[in-house]
Amino acid sequence: MPKIIDIAGATIFVFPNDHPPPHVHVRCQGQAIRLRIMDAQSMDPNRDFPVRVLRDARDWLLANRDRTAKQWAMYHS
């Protein structure tokens, strides 16, 4: 699983050949959540995930959306 970045105590990564829509996985303290790349919204809305980490991961993803979308496409071509 290609790691994109470690941020706020979490790791953001993608799975090669994963299903659409384009998304990243965020892991922190044994928990995981998926965020869509286009809008940083959760694909797992009922997960109990650390709020601060989720906010920081969303902020990072929105600021790096184009770069992250290119990385996702690279692993899914």
Per-residue pLDDT reduced to its tens digit, 24-44: 999 999 999 999 999 999 999
- HSE-CB for 11 with a 13 A CA cutoff: 10
By residue range, what is the domain housing residue 61? Answer: 3-75
Q: What percent of the chain lies above the pLDDT cut of 90? A: 77
pLDDT over 90 at 76, yes or no: no
Q: Work out how many domains the chain is built from and give that number.
A: 1
pLDDT over 80 at 47, yes or no: no
